[in-house]
Amino acid sequence: MPAMHSVNIRPHIIERVTARRGKSHWFESLDSQRTALVVIDMQSTFCEAGAPAEVPTARSIVPNINALSARLRAAGVPIFWVLHANTHLGERSDWEMFFNNVVADDVRSRTMESLLPGKQSVWSGLVTSPEDVVLLKNRYSAFISGSSSLEPMLRNYGIDTILIAGTKTNVCCESTGRDAMMLDFKVVMVSDCCAALSDDEHLATLETFIQQFGDVMSWKDVVERLDPSLPLGPA
């Protein structure tokens, strides 16, 4: 299994944010009644070896996502699995800007086929529960208009804080997190439950995020701020 990211936010970034706002973390505590875990794109297209958009490190974060989600369910925190899907009719898709410019012709058809809505399910290594919510998005961000039903669902659940996990850290996770903050959600990027194609890309997002868009915590930090009584050992 590929190794997890082994990078941490650098001291000078922590010093910068502390000087600016008087503390390093945005949120000292989390309210279980108003928090949800949003897991982005943990599906075959990104997790499976040899898949057209494989992120090898995504497989390494599965144990941490399972550990976190188990404890969140115990605290009554809802879990949202947000999977990417695009429809197409012949050679035309619902996101031509992406398919015509981001992927080469020899990858385009494989990617389009792999992302058909009817084929999407949560990656097999992840533990889900019947009370979890699974929904689809068709853009990097789950919050951009028309992408998914995530925002109205969260509002209807009374959620004002979201924890972001999944892949890629610097693409769909970051895009979703940035838009969530702009929509006045409190956002926490769960650093050891996110995966990118390189340590540098992963770290760049975490350092940008903690400065301008939301908090960055490990899954154990999240649990401790949410409910100190929850165990941190094996679920």
pLDDT of residue 234: 64
Which residues of the chain are modeled with pLDDT < 70? 1, 89-90, 95-97, 100, 104, 107, 112-116, 234-235
Half-sphere exposure of 62 (CA within 13 A, CB side): 21
C-beta of residue 220 within 8 angstroms of C-beta of residue 232: yes
pTM confidence score? 0.91
pLDDT of residue 170: 97
pLDDT of residue 104: 67
pLDDT of residue 136: 95
pLDDT of residue 2: 80
User: ω before 168 within 30° of 0 (cis)?
Assistant: yes
pLDDT of residue 113: 67
